[in-house]
Structure 1
Amino acid sequence: MQEQYVRPTFCTNDEAFELRAVVAGEVIGQLAIPSAASLIRSGRLVPLLLEHTADNYSLFIYYGSRAAQPARVRRFIDLAVERLTDSTDFVLRNEELASAHAKGMQLSTQ
């Protein structure tokens, strides 16, 4: 195996901007599954380098002290936990990723 340095031509810390660039076909990006799941399912994005994906993806909500926590913060935390816990909207199983990858590779060779 030979390693080759590739100078990046696009670098951003703006996930929404990166997602738009990837969907436009301008770049290959490293996207979080919650942002890309619906686009992968619809076929608009093709997952690459599956052997380098993490087995687990966890989301965490960090907040200050519970003692001085405003009610609106508690409501947001409760809503986020309710919507994200065990949600298939934001998670792709390995089988789904492999299937989307295979379909995308078939389309790219046609």
Structure 2
Amino acid sequence: MYGSIFRMKVKPGQEQKVIDLFNEWDKVERPKVKGAIAGYVMKPDSKSGELIGVAVFQDKASYRANAERPEQDRWFRKMREHLQADPQWEDGEYLRSQLPR
């Protein structure tokens, strides 16, 4: 599996809009994306105004294919409007997981 863990600094009052956009992606875009396995958004206790996202794909090729989709770029630009800066990304291979079966 391959994906990204990313930290987002959200503009004040925009947190729900960011979450809504992730929910929209899950309903509208995810069914079109081959290899998309899971996505998570966490609100850390220690970082007010930040969210942490996790994207999980079947492999690096499906992750890259999604990143290159024009629809993904449009979605990202909409989400970016609600952030103070670009997310801090850490892309890489997931070496272990315990997903519900």
TM-score, normalised to structure 2's length? 0.28
TM-score, normalised to structure 1's length? 0.26
Query: Which structure has greater helix proportion?
Result: 1
- Higher Cα radius of gyration: 1
Query: Which structure has greater strand proportion?
Result: 2
Q: Which has the higher contact order (CA 8 A, sep 6+)?
A: 2
